[in-house]
Each structure stands twice: as C-alpha cells, then as structure tokens.
C-alpha cells in the first residue's frame, strides 16, 4: 500500500497560491505543506509533532487525544510592547497603540523573514473565523513554520477545506505570516496592517501572539473592519440563559484578559435554581452587528477555547474540566510522572513530584509555581457539555444585555446597571482592571482598559468609542448595559464575593432587569439591586456582607475619577463629548 502523503495538494485559487509563492521565495522553507483540516492530516501532524519533541503525548487512558507543550520560558504571554498597528499616519493607530508606518515595518520584518524557514516546513493554514455561511464570517490564511500553531489553529478555528470553499476564487482573505525565528525577545514583533488586511508575527510561539485568527484578526483587524463596515469586534464572551419555562436570554460580557470570561460563559447555576441552564456561545470574542429588527446580534468567530488553566477545577468550572478531558493541547502546565497534568488550583492534591512548566523537577516544597500563571488549554468547543446550539448559527443571537467588569480590589460594587446606552458606553470606556499574567507586565496594577479592548483595538481608541456611540443609531432595542466586579476584597485581602457559580444570582437579576421584572434603586452611579431583590436560597450571605460588596465609598470614587483623568487626557483629541458630559454628571451626582 502506498504511504499517504499529506500537505501536497495546493488549492486552485491563483491569488492565494501567488501570495504563498511570494512568502516561500522570501522565507526559503524546505517544503510547503497545504493543510486541509482532515482527521487523517491531524493524526499525521500529531505524530510528527511528537517525533520532533514539540508535543508530548499524555496518558491516553486518563486524557485521550491530549498532548503537552512547553513554550520557550521567555515566551509565555502576549507582548503588548512588541505589538504594532501599522498605518500611514500615527493618529490612525491612536495614542494607545504602538505605531509604525507599513513601509517601515514591512521592510524590517521581510528582512527578518528572509531565509528564516530554511530547513523547516512552511505550513499554509486556511481558516474561517465564524460559522460557515454567516455574513459576518471572514476567511484567513496563516502561513507558519510552527506545527504547534497548525494544531492549535485546527482547534481554535474552522480550518482547512471549509475555508477554501468559502474563499472560492476570491481575493478577500486575511494574509497572515508567522515565523518563530529564533524566538528571541529582541526579534519579536506582532504587526498589523489593517488597510492591507494583513498580519506578520515573528519571534514568538505563544498563543495570542501567533494564533493569528484570534487576537490579531478577530479583534485588531476585525475592529478596524467593523468600523468601516458597520459592525463591532469585541473581547466578550456570549452566553444564553435558559429559564425553567424555556425562555432564552442572550448576554455578552467584556472582562479583561484572565478576569473570568471563560468561567462566566460556562457557569452552572447553583442547585437552588432548578431548571435554569446556561449554555455557551463563546468565551473570548464576539462579533456584533445590528439586525434588521433593531437588535444587536452576536456571533462567536472561534471554534475552540484557549483558556487559563490555573484555578480551573471541578468546583470552579466543571464544564471546562469536561471540555479539556480529551482532544486538548496543554501549554506550560506541570507534567506528572504518570503522563497527567497539574496546575495550581487543580482538583488533585499537588503531586509528590512532577516536572514544572520549565521541565524542572518540582515538589510541593518548591518555591516556584509548578504551572505558569498564564498556562493554558486549547480545546474544541464541541467538547463543552454546555455548548449552545446557537454557537454554530450563522445568524448569531440577539443580545439583551452587555456586561462590563474588571478585577478591582476596591471601589467597584458587585453589580450596577447603567442609566442608558451612553452611560453604559461611559462605564465600558472607563473600565479599570488589575493587570494579570495574560500579558507581560506589572501584575496587580490598576490600568484603564476600555471595553477590555486596550490591547486589542486596531485603530484610534477615540474613534472606537465614537463607533460604540454611533452603533446606537441602528438599534431600536439596544442591549441594556451593566457593570460587575467579582474581585472586591475585604480588609484581610479576601474576596468578598464567592464568585463562579454564585455569579448566577447576579446574572439572574441582570436578565430580570432586561425583561422588566426586577426592581432597582437609583444611586449616584447607576441602578442597583437591594439585598431583598436577590434570591439567596441555599446561600449564607448576610445583609452586611452584601452591603460591603455594594458599597459606594466617596473617597474611593474620588480617586477613581482622578485616575480616569489620565485616560481622558490620553484620548483628548478624539474623545466623544458625550463621555466628558457623563463624567461631569457623575461628578455632580457624587
């Protein structure tokens, strides 16, 4: 029997093959591999990745179809300082992005790519962001010299033939080029060329830097295209709340990186709410567009989850634990002697001995963490027991609510509702959050992260906020906007709110508000629930504790308003007047 050969069939689209030939001639790989997304190809690539040491096969009895990867220790998170928006004029990228001219950046990166793939295979990965057939869906093609990227892209996107079919003979696809080069921080650039619908990423092998469909296309390029074409690309989960009578309410929520989107999207209501169910449409990205009926419709452009491992366990997120029990790639977690995985906050007790994320022997006595705080799993969304049928619906889902929320030890109450759309946009625009391990930088420091999009907005942030206000014109039934904070702490540095599944009590008030059946009191900062408006069945949470979670502290708000000044000054020349007025109104109310 002839040995099957993989990756040898080039597609017939001449625009695509001409571009691939241009990159091949530049990067000089030993061979070109055309990915078709088939199961047989997956097995072939997995075997190759194991043979070359990129992946380790995990214990297949415990974790069928699961593999393990360690990244270079210098390459464990997104790198905002190396991320560029390349436009002819600086003010197109705006004050919150690193900027270079396209000409300058192409020149620099083509020089780095010259001969860079010698001795390597160049993979060509066609993919869809969005369900096949959706008017919002986009085609991308990623050229990469990383087999790890190919295997992750086939989980995170609809990859291979399905994308070539949608592209047909057309030229409308995102052109992405990725090379790990020598994985040196000095030669690490994530460059976006919005006007060319193109991306070049070099010098990294990690997640958001290299899975180009995700943050690069679906958010940075997507947000740019969305403004031109009348839609929005947002760093949001999408979920469906189903009541015992089968009533469905769709909610999107923007929390900054590592602030709870995956957990909220997979939430299981407490036992005290029989018949209530939450299903997941997406856990990280939403593409949203006003529909003909004046509602805001959202799709999840992704097909998988690239989720934070630490803290994920049977109690905090059972659906995630089921999702990652098979067909999953684990990156930078700890490897146990029996071919299993472990991380801080796993259900299993710390292993007596294991290898940490750097491959070093680790015991519970070790001072370092066994798993990197930004260690991740890549898993197909089809594995999620709570996957919503709507996740594959080309029409998307009509949103009733949008929730903003950051990681705030102080100031921000558990929940409040904006007075209206403009006030809601102000809440999103001024959102603050403590920095997490998802990006290289200072942990714990509060920074302004408008709509959780600070690292992901592909154009001028002032124009972006104007776009948010402008979208309202196409909505006769806009989603109501809310603000949450699961992370407020007491004087002893303990979280005041238990979070996770108990967040359902907050979510229930949100959806009841959108349906006009929950009460609220008007406060200086927005509409807030009283203690009695929450259903506390089976939860021991006193009036006093709730008051602590909801407290509006004058001194804290004074500091909050002062710290917003910095953002407003940064954005001053394009900041919408509406937001300045909202701030003035808030000051006068306080």
41 binds ligand SPV (CB under 6 A): no
Residue 522 burial (C-beta neighbours within 10 Å; 0-12, 13-18, 19+): exposed
Sign of the alpha-carbon torsion through 222, 225, 229, 230: positive
Closest to 219 in 3D by CA, of 239, 205, 199: 199
DSSP 238-268: EEEEE-TT--EEEEEEE--TTSSHHHHHT--
| Burial track 360-377 (b if 16+ CB lie within 10 A, e otherwise) | eebeeeeeeebbbbbbbb
* Residue 215 binds which entry of Mn ion, ligand SPV, ligand GTP, none, CB below 5-8 Å type-dependent: ligand SPV
* Residue 316 binds which entry of ligand SPV, Mn ion, ligand GTP, none, CB below 5-8 Å type-dependent: ligand GTP
Q: Which of 75, 142, 234, 284 binds Mn ion (CB under 5 A)?
A: 284
* Residue 280 binds which entry of ligand SPV, ligand GTP, Mn ion, none, CB below 5-8 Å type-dependent: none
Q: Which of 7, 11, 94, 207 binds ligand SPV (CB under 6 A)?
A: 207
Q: How far is the CB of 359 from ligand SPV (least distance, A)?
A: 21
Residues in 49-88 that interact with ligand SPV by CB under 6 A: 78
CA pair distance 37, 14, nearest whole angstrom:
20
CA pair distance 193, 175, nearest whole angstrom:
10
Closest to 329 in 3D by CA, of 59, 60, 65: 65
Nearer to Mn ion, 257 or 430 (CB): 257
Q: Which of 257, 378, 466, 582 binds ligand GTP (CB under 6 A)?
A: 257
Pairing of strands 286-290, 296-299: antiparallel
Q: Looking at 55-63, 147-155, 208-216, 492-500, which segment touches ligand SPV (CB under 6 A)?
A: 208-216
Q: How far is the CB of 297 from ligand GTP (least distance, A)?
A: 22
Residues in 491-510 that interact with ligand GTP by CB under 6 A: 495, 499-500, 503
Residue 287 contacts residue 397 (beta carbons within 8 Å):
no
Nearer to ligand SPV, 332 or 582 (CB): 332
Q: Which of 200, 425, 438, 446 binds ligand SPV (CB under 6 A)?
A: 438
416 binds ligand GTP (CB under 6 A): no
Nearer to Mn ion, 260 or 380 (CB): 260
The backbone region for 339, taken as left when phi is positive above 0, alpha when psi lies in -120 to 50, beta otherwise, is: left
Q: How far is the CB of 374 from ligand SPV (least distance, A)?
A: 8
Nearer to ligand SPV, 248 or 447 (CB): 447
Closest-approach residue to Mn ion (CB) = 284
H or E segment and range at residue 448: strand 446-448
* Residue 29 binds which entry of ligand GTP, Mn ion, ligand SPV, none, CB below 5-8 Å type-dependent: none
**Active-site residue 183, yes or no?**
no
Q: How far is the CB of 251 from Mn ion (least distance, A)?
A: 17
Q: What is the CA radius of gyration of the chain?
A: 23
Alpha helices by DSSP H, listed for 359-447, are 421-429
Residues in 209-238 that interact with ligand SPV by CB under 6 A: 214-215
Pairing of strands 158-159, 67-69: unpaired
260 binds ligand GTP (CB under 6 A): yes
H or E segment and range at residue 321: helix 318-323
Q: Which of 66, 82, 240, 259 is catalytic?
A: 259
Report residue 584: phi and psi, to 5°.
-60, -45
DSSP 281-308: EESS-EEEEE-TTSPEEEE---SEEEEE
Q: Which of 19, 206, 255, 362 binds ligand GTP (CB under 6 A)?
A: 255
Q: Which of 208, 380, 428, 529 binds ligand SPV (CB under 6 A)?
A: 208
> What contacts 416, CB < 8 A, 6 or more positions away?
482, 483, 523, 525, 526, 527, 528
Contact string 288-327 vs ligand SPV (x = CB under 6 A): ------------------x---------------------
* Residue 503 binds which entry of ligand SPV, ligand GTP, Mn ion, none, CB below 5-8 Å type-dependent: ligand GTP
Active site residues: 259
Residue numbers at the binding site for ligand GTP (CB under 6 A): 255, 257-263, 283-284, 307-308, 310-311, 316, 438, 486-487, 495, 499-500, 503
């Amino acid at each position: 029997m002839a040995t099957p050969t993989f990756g040898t069939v080039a597609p017939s689209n001449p625009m695509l093959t001409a571009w691939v030939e241009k990159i091949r001639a530049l990067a000089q790989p030993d061979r070109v591999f055309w990915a078709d997304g088939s199961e047989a190809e997956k097995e072939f690539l997995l075997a190759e990745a194991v043979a070359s040491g990129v992946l380790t096969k995990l214990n297949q009895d415990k974790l069928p179809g699961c593999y393990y990867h360690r990244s270079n220790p210098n390459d464990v998170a997104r790198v905002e300082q190396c991320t560029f928006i390349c436009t002819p004029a600086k003010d197109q990228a705006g004050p919150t992005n690193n900027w270079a001219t396209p000409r300058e950046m192409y020149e620099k990166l083509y020089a780095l790519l010259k001969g860079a793939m010698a001795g390597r295979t160049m993979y060509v990965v066609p993919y869809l962001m969005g369900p096949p057939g959706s008017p919002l869906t986009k085609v991308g093609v990623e050229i990469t010299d990383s087999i790890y990227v190919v295997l992750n892209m086939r989980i995170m996107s609809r990859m291979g033939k399905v994308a070539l079919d949608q592209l047909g003979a057309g030229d409308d696809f995102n052109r992405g080029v990725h090379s790990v080069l020598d994985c040196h921080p000095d030669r690490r650039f994530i460059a976006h060329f919005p006007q060319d619908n193109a991306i070049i990423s070099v010098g990294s092998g990690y997640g958001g830097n290299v899975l180009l469909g995700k943050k690069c296309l679906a958010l940075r390029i997507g947000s740019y295209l969305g403004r031109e074409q009348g839609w929005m690309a947002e760093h949001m989960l999408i979920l469906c709340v189903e009541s015992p009578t089968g009533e469905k309410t769709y909610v999107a929520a923007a929390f900054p990186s590592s602030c709870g989107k995956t957990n909220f999207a997979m939430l299981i209501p407490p036992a005290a709410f029989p018949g209530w169910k939450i299903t997941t449409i997406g856990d990280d990205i939403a593409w949203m567009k006003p529909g003909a009926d004046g509602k805001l419709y959202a799709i999840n452009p992704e097909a998988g989850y690239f989720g934070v491992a630490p803290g994920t366990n049977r109690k905090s997120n059972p659906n995630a634990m089921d999702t990652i029990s098979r067909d999953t790639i684990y990156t930078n977690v700890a490897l146990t002697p029996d071919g299993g995985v472990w991380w801080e906050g796993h259900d299993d007790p710390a292993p007596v001995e294991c290898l940490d994320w750097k491959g070093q022997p680790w015991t519970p006595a070790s001072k370092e963490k066994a798993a990197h705080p930004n260690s991740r799993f890549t898993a197909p969304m089809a594995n999620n027991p709570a996957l919503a049928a709507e996740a594959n619906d080309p029409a998307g889902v009509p949103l009733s609510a949008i929730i903003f929320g950051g990681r705030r030890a102080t100031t921000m109450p558990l929940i409040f509702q904006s007075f209206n759309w403009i006030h809601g946009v102000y809440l999103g625009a001024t959102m603050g959050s403590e920095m997490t391990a998802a990006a290289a930088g200072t942990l714990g420091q509060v920074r302004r992260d408008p709509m959780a999009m600070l690292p992901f907005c592909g154009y001028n942030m002032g124009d972006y906020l104007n776009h948010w206000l402008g979208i309202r014109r196409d909505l006769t039934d806009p989603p109501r906007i809310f603000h949450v904070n699961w992370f407020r702490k007491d004087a002893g540095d303990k979280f005041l709110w238990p979070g996770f599944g108990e967040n359902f009590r907050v979510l229930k008030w949100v959806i009841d508000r959108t349906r006009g059946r929950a009460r609220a009191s008007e406060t200086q900062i927005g509409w807030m629930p009283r203690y009695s408006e929450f259903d506390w069945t089976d939860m021991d949470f006193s009036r006093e504790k709730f008051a602590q979670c909801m407290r509006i502290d004058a001194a804290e708000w004074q500091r909050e308003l002062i710290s917003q000044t910095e953002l407003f000054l940064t954005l001053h020349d394009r900041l919408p007047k509406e937001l300045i007025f909202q701030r003035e109104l808030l000051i006068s109310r306080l």
